Amino acid sequence: MGGTITLTEREMEYLFRIIDSSTCIFRRHQFFLWSQGELQSLLPHGMLICVFDEGSGQSISIEKFSRTEISEILFSELCRPDGGIVFRVMSAWSAGKNQPFLLCPNNPNGIAYKHFVNDLKRGNLERVAAHGMFDANGRTSSLFAFTQISGVLTERHAYFLELLAPHMHMALVRMLFHERHHQPGAMVEKSRKLITDRETEVLRYVQMGKSNLEIGSLLKISPLTVKNHIQKILRKLNVNNRAHAVAKAMALKITL
């Protein structure tokens, strides 16, 4: 990355908040709220894809944090090991001496963009900003791909990625560790009974970012009925707004 980048006072404040709040992430819903909240101040995006590779023959974990709608079929296509854009981006990042990897039609790295443009359009990803961490042997340990970015990507975004990647890595590791070693067991089964099947349907569409009108049209019920369902969901989950309802549902594995 050429040239020296100086952060503004506001960017410094954003950076401190992102780093500070990252230390409190232990659960999936916390990572979701962090990625859709604090992280957006420096790296605005629609969907964040996280890849974590433990090595030693362990399977690779691929996590998605998004409030935009994407079908499971399309997401599986993006993450295919044999040519999916996620693994191709990871290979390009690794080959680039572990520098942030930007895919943007307005970026000087236009040659790389041409190799990915069809995948970006097919996956409705717009632009991609990716960076990760590697281990002591130079093997890729994690990759974070910010997608569905509407604005032009610059070296400033690359610098933000360099600053934040270590903190994102540790937050992801803590989340995965907590999930593996603190299985909720009976609590999950109990939480699934907390809301009705219809309320779960409504909550899934809320997770996709649908409005009451859109949800009503999809479920063939009135927007007022949708509103009533959402109010009941908020009360049952003991939360104040839709975003926190989605996050709590993810924590309780209601919508997953």
What tens digit of pLDDT does each residue of 176-188 get? 988 887 755 544 4
State both tokens at 90. Answer: 């990871």
Averaged pLDDT, 194-202: 85
Residue 145 has pLDDT above 80, yes or no: yes
Would strands 140-147 and 128-134 be described as parallel, antiparallel, or unpaired? antiparallel
Q: Which amino acid is at 133?
A: M
Spatial distance between the Cα atoms of 208 and 242, rounded to a whole number of angstroms: 11
Question: Can you tell me the distance from the alpha carbon of 18 to that of 1, in angstroms, rounded to the nearest whole number?
Answer: 23
Mean pLDDT, rounded, of the chain: 85
- 22: which 2 tokens? 């990252």
Closest by CA to 165, choosing from 133, 127, 136, is 133
Name the token pair of 103. Answer: 């895919």
Cβ pair 177, 240 in contact under 8 A:
no
pLDDT of residue 42: 95
pLDDT in tens, 216-227: 998 999 989 999
Considering only CA atoms, which of 185, 139, 188, 172 is closest in space to residue 61? 172
pLDDT in tens, 91-113: 999 888 779 999 988 765 556 78
Instruction: Decide if 148 contacts 125 (C-beta within 8 A).
Output: yes
Least confident of 30-44, 142-156, 200-214: 200-214
Region 236-246: what's the mean pLDDT? 82
d(CA 47, CA 65): 6
| pTM, rounded to two decimals | 0.72
Give CA angle at 256 (27, 81), nearest 5°. 90
Please enumerate in sequence order all residues whose Cβ is within 8 A of that of 100, keeping only pairs 6 or more positions apart, or say none: 1, 93, 129, 130, 131, 157, 158, 159, 161, 162
Q: Is the Cα torsion angle 243, 245, 251, 253 positive or negative in sign? A: negative
Sheet of 47-52, strand order: 61-66, 47-52, 140-147, 128-134, 101-103
Residue 48 host element (H or E): strand 47-52
On whether the CB atoms of residues 93 and 145 are closer than 8 A, the answer is: no
Alpha carbon distance 143, 171 (integer Å): 13
